[in-house]
Copies of this chain bind each other. A is one copy, B any other.
Amino acid sequence: MSELSSPQAEESPDEAVSEKYLALEQDVREAVWDDDKRWLSRTLKRLHPADAADLLEQLSTDDFSDAVALLGEDLSTEIIIELRDEYREDAVEALPDATVAAVLGELDSDDVTTILEDLEEERREEILKKLAPADRASFEQGLAFDEETAGRLMQREYFAAPELWTVGHAIDHARDNAEELPAEFYAVYVIDPTHHLKGQVPLATLLRTPRDVMLSDIMEDIQSDIRGDMDQEEAAYQFQKYSLASAPVTDGDGRLMGMLTVDDVVDVIQEENTEDLLALSGVNSAEGTDTVLDSVKARAPWLAVNLVTAFIASGIISIFEGTIEQVVQLAILMPVVAALGGNAGSQGLAVAVRAIAEREMDGDASRRAIIRETLTGIANGVIFAVGVAAIAGFWFSSVALAVTIGVAMFATFVWAGFSGVIVPITLRRVGADPAVASSVFVLTLTDIMAFFSFLGLASITLL
């Protein structure tokens, strides 16, 4: 119940707490400037590691590096693990090899992997050399899996018990081996002599069952099926689907290798959500986002693609140069058709991308979605064709112009509805990420339709 748990200055209803928090932020900043290591490390130790990490992340990049250098080995392992990726990388970079090696010894294996994968190849080797051979071999196992797999994410510490054990055996074993068990776990995994997974006993079940009952009598089937080489996104999906707090990870033959816990999975879910949201707006999923160079690198490629598509749209307009010269109102109105059509396409696209991410677009559902989106395009097309035609007709006192823009608007809406859903579905079918690039395709397709239909029709009806 720390008084620091609501650091949102603008949102917290409790102004006093916010002010206290801001004052603490300022004190931390000043401690870094004054090299006051003693005060800083004491203050951070008093807080929950997640709160301490939050506080350090409020510092500017330079102050943060200074703080890490100042704290040295006083920067606790728990805080390092709670830092966001960019900050954690910076912190590990700033610490001496010996300190990093010492830190690794204190962590669960999944956290060790997190830190090691941040490091440059060379430095990783240097640090691994400083470790006992047994630790070293164990740490290297985590890195043997590809990035973004369940194997990278899992910890190799878990509680497994043979089928023949009773509840009493399991409890006694846990008491006798308290040190070797992971800090947090939610189930006992039941295995056969060849280490194949047979089932699980949730701790809540273990707790309420008499001592002499056999584990094999109370174990549940394991609904999830997560292998070490499985994409982390698929593992996260299984956690959501089966409402899991933890899940065992097996190798290709069904032998138990490790355990995933839901806190790591929540991080994966958030990463995937961030990627989708940014990709839809043409931002590459950013490694770091804190410098201008990072931002430019994440965005310039899609702007370059957009540069090409924008000139394609210009090319279409230029076909009708003669028409525009004679009826300059077309130049005034054509952005309306393009803007509304593009907006309608983006709406359908966002709905489709989200449905794909939540796996609501399988089999029959995608056929239904295409029909629904096209019908939605027709319905909104009628509404906004009439609206746009009315405004344009009154503005320029021209029935012909009103009819022209109305028909073009309708055609663009129907086309936008259809392409908003067909583009991401097609991208997924060919194995591409439906969020990436979809936006550019859809907007280009609607722009082309908007300019072509409006100016093309106009050159027939208005000349």
A340-B310 in contact given A203-B204, A283-B351 (Cβ < 8 Å): yes
B178 touches A209 (CB 8 A): yes
**In the assembled complex, A43 has its CB within 8 A of some CB on chain B:** no
Q: How many copies does the complex hold?
A: 2
A245 touches B186 (CB 8 A): yes
Other A-B contacts than A9-B363, A299-B376, 16 sampled, CB-CB below 8 A, are A2-B223, A5-B224, A7-B363, A9-B362, A50-B223, A54-B241, A58-B362, A178-B209, A203-B203, A240-B266, A245-B261, A296-B376, A310-B336, A310-B340, A311-B391, A317-B335
**In the assembled complex, A447 has its CB within 8 A of some CB on chain B:** yes
In the bound complex, how far is the Cα of B343 from the Cα of A313, in angstroms? Answer: 15
Q: Which residues between 420 and 452 of chain A lie within 8 Å of chain B, taking CB atoms?
A: 428-429, 443, 447, 451
**In the assembled complex, A295 has its CB within 8 A of some CB on chain B:** yes
A290 touches B372 (CB 8 A): yes
B residues within 8 A CB of A359?
7-8
Please, what's the 1-or-0 string for A250-280, where 1 marks a CB less than 8 Å from any CB in chain B? 0000100000011100110110011011101
The answer, among B54, B307, B358, for a CB contact under 8 Å with A274, is B358
**In the assembled complex, A399 has its CB within 8 A of some CB on chain B:** no
B residues within 8 A CB of A414?
none
- Show 5 A/B contacts (Cβ-Cβ < 8 Å), sorted by A: A58-B362, A186-B204, A296-B380, A317-B332, A331-B331
A residues whose Cβ falls under 8 Å from a Cβ of B = 1-2, 5-10, 22, 25, 48, 50, 54, 57-60, 84, 171, 174-175, 177-178, 181-186, 202-204, 206-210, 221-225, 234, 238-246, 254, 261-263, 266-267, 269-270, 273-274, 276-278, 280-283, 286, 289-292, 295-296, 299-300, 302-304, 306-307, 309-311, 313-314, 317-318, 321, 324-325, 328, 330-336, 338-340, 343-344, 346-347, 349-351, 353-355, 358-360, 362-365, 368, 372-373, 375-376, 379-380, 383-384, 387-388, 391, 428-429, 443, 447, 451
A184 touches B204 (CB 8 A): yes
In the bound complex, how far is the Cα of B253 from the Cα of A443, in angstroms? Answer: 54
A363 touches B25 (CB 8 A): yes
